[in-house]
Copies of this chain bind each other. A is one copy, B any other.
């Protein structure tokens, strides 16, 4: 299967459980997320509409809007677990992804992990970023803080301003172009980014 945070009620994750999620609600939520994941994968993620998700999931409008205000938030829900996993690895995982390795190695490992994320969930990331909401998400803030810290540790001047530059090549839309239009394979993209990591922190 595709994977996704399909099996965890949002209320649980949020921490405040008013009562308990009803069985029919859970069933519908899983249908919605599964249908949405399929749609994002099949079409251009920017063209998927709430209406489409309703129909594909066999669910009424109110059911959908109850939990998700727009398609981006659906993609975000599907993405959430995987992004958190990577964030956990960055904070407390083994080096070189986690703490303990020199900045160059950690930045390179981060790039490789992000390419992996882009490869597996590029369709979701493109949907989230469409509408120019890339820099508003909490995830971007996390990547930004991580890279800024690595650059600072490497002794580079203006790490705050360079972090944005270091993250720019990880745009989902750019990755999609490199894969489809330029015909690159993931390893090539990752190797180029590894080279960039050396240049930035050297």
Contacts and interface: CB of A to CB of B under 8 A. Distances in A.
Copies per complex of this chain = 2
B192 A178 contact: no
Nearest to A173: B132
> Interface residue tally of chain A, by bracket?
20 to 34
A114 interface: no
A130 B131 CA distance: 7
Contacts of A129: 132
A149 interface: no
Contact of A169 (B126, B157, B165): B165
A2 interface: no
A164 B182 contact: yes
Contacts of A162: 192, 195-196
Contact of A196 (B165, B184, B193): B165
Interface string A109-136: 0000000000000000010011110110
Contacts of A195: 157-158, 162
A98 interface: no
Nearest to A166: B169
29 contacts: A46-B132, A126-B132, A129-B132, A130-B131, A134-B173, A135-B173, A135-B174, A135-B181, A158-B188, A158-B192, A158-B195, A160-B182, A161-B178, A161-B182, A161-B184, A161-B189, A162-B195, A162-B196, A164-B174, A164-B177, A164-B178, A164-B182, A165-B169, A165-B192, A165-B193, A168-B169, A168-B171, A171-B171, A199-B202
